[in-house]
Amino acid sequence: MNNETEKSLPLGLKIAAGYLVIGGLAGLIWPLLGLGPNHPEFEALSIAAKAGKYFRETLINSGMLVCGTALFYRKAWARKGALIVLVAAAFYGGNAFAWGYARGAPNAEALMIGYGAMILWNSIWFYLIYRKSSAEILH
């Protein structure tokens, strides 16, 4: 391998890392702009429950930002971290998607749509980070 090849990340990995950075930043800024959940069921939650939900979102979005940035810097641990964050984001994001889709408490159909959409969306990024060419470059 020459130096130029060693320096370049696969395009798919660059795109996935960029998504993680942008998605993480957006997720961290979103609640600060008052654009977070505002449906009556969320507003009715206790302060502790709201804090827990915000903490979870902050943790996931911080993980996305850190792992995405670390992928650009070729940190081997970032690949595994990004895959874990993507699974967590799909799991918790499916419920949030369903609440937004249903504009309130989701029924079974809305939950299936929410989880299906999030699993498909995060599968794209998971694949780009997981594939062999990405693993080889981050050894």
- Residue 2: is its pLDDT beyond 60? no
Q: Can you tell me which residue has the tokens 């792992």?
A: 67
pLDDT of res. 22: 97
Which of 123, 139, 137 shows the shortest CA–CA distance to 14?
137
* In contact, 134 and 128? CB cutoff 8 Å: yes
pLDDT of res. 4: 45
Angle between helices 47-72 and 11-29 (to 10 degrees): 150
| Tokens of residue 43, six digits | 């507003």
DSSP output for 51-70: HHHHHHHHHHHHHHHHHHHH
pLDDT of res. 30: 87
DSSP output for 5-39: HHHPPPHHHHHHHHHHHHHHHHHHHGGGGT-S--S
Interval 65-119: pLDDT, tens: 999 999 999 998 999 999 999 999 999 999 889 988 888 889 999 999 999 999 9
Interval 6-54: pLDDT, tens: 568 899 999 999 999 999 999 999 888 877 777 777 888 899 998 898 8
Q: How confident is the model at residue 136 (pLDDT cuts 50, 70, 90)?
A: confident
pLDDT of res. 71: 96
